[in-house]
Amino acid sequence: MTEAVKTSSLTGAVSPMIPVLTCALAIFLLSGMDAAMKSLVIAVGVYNTVLWRSMVATLIAGAAWSAGPRAKPTLPVLGLHALRAAVVGIVLVSFFWGLARLPLAEAIGLSFIAPLFALFLAALLLGERIRCQAVWASLAGIAGVAIILAGQFGQASHSQDALLGTAAVLVSTVFYGYNLILSRQQALLAKPIEIMLFQNLCVAIILGLAAPWLAVQLPRDLWLPLVGVTVLSLAGQFLMSWSYARAEAQYLIPTEYSAFIWAIALGWFFFGEEVAWTTLTGACLIVAGCLIAARANPKLAEPIEAAV
């Protein structure tokens, strides 16, 4: 799923080229994180992977927050951090649970529908008017999901487990749509490093409540991959925040869909996954819908990739 902060004033980039390239690098790092997370989830399960990653991320983000200028967040801001962390926790667990049961490209392609949910949630929660573009965008996204699902039913290799994985990814996109609404409020009240710290801290606390029953000690050989995953995630989030503070969303949004290309390449290289034509067609329709949505509300037109 993003930590990118869309500030109201862009800090002086004459050309968007550098922010665009930086955003593309961030997407590459986050795509690598997804592939590594899939391996960890297969090894120790989604709960332990997300729990331990949140703990490591809290330590890293906490060190960075402590080293720089900072102010203690007020109680209302802490409440917003906690609320968004609860939503992000649901997004992470459901998305990575589904990711372990689907080809990487298919999961990423389905996740792109999140901005379309965000458009309608913005209308419901913020009173924004639903524009004609949002309706057409939603129809394109629904058609894309239907084609991907049709491809699953048409292949014997897709089991009921894969369909449950699809359902989990779609659930994560609904909650991520709400997460996008919360992130706008959060961006007005806190800096990116504070958001990263308290989001990971709150997720670790929330998941930690079930630790006596679900947590297991991470095998020694998985600690280095876990730290690598955490560094990739934080670096990607930071670079996206930097990019969105220096260029308009209309320049950056198209680069975010390069995640699908990286998902195809990484899924093939690390997991031997082949991409069905239905996945390609469905993902293209979903991306087209999101680009239409970007014209309706650029601030909400982001894929889930940047969030996780």
Rounded CA-CA distance 167/170 in Å is 5
pLDDT at res. 307? 45
The pTM (predicted TM-score) of the whole model is 0.83
Q: Which of 239, 122, 240 has its CA nearest to residue 182? A: 122
Burial of 96 (0-12, 13-18, 19+ CB in 10 A): buried
Q: What is the 3-state secondary structure (H, E, C) of 66-125?
A: HHCCCCCCCHHHHHHHHHHHHHHHHHHHHHHHHHCCCCHHHHHHHHCCHHHHHHHHHHHH
What's at 242, amino acid-wise? Answer: W
pLDDT tens over the chain, length 308 residues: 444 444 434 444 446 788 889 988 999 999 999 999 999 999 999 999 999 999 999 999 999 888 878 778 888 889 999 999 999 999 999 999 999 999 899 899 888 887 777 777 777 776 767 777 777 877 888 888 888 888 777 665 557 788 899 999 999 998 988 887 787 777 778 888 888 899 899 999 999 999 999 999 999 999 999 999 999 988 988 888 788 778 776 677 777 788 888 999 999 999 998 888 888 998 898 888 877 776 666 655 554 444 44
Rounded CA-CA distance 292/195 in Å is 29
Q: What region, left, alpha or beta, does residue 275 occupy, with left being phi > 0 and alpha being psi -120 to 50 degrees?
A: beta
CB atoms within 10 A of CB 163: 15
Rounded CA-CA distance 122/136 in Å is 17
pLDDT at res. 299? 59
pLDDT at res. 168? 95
pLDDT at res. 158? 57
Say if residues 1 and 235 touch (Cβ distance below 8 Å): no
pLDDT at res. 151? 78
Question: So where are the chain's domains?
Answer: 18-300
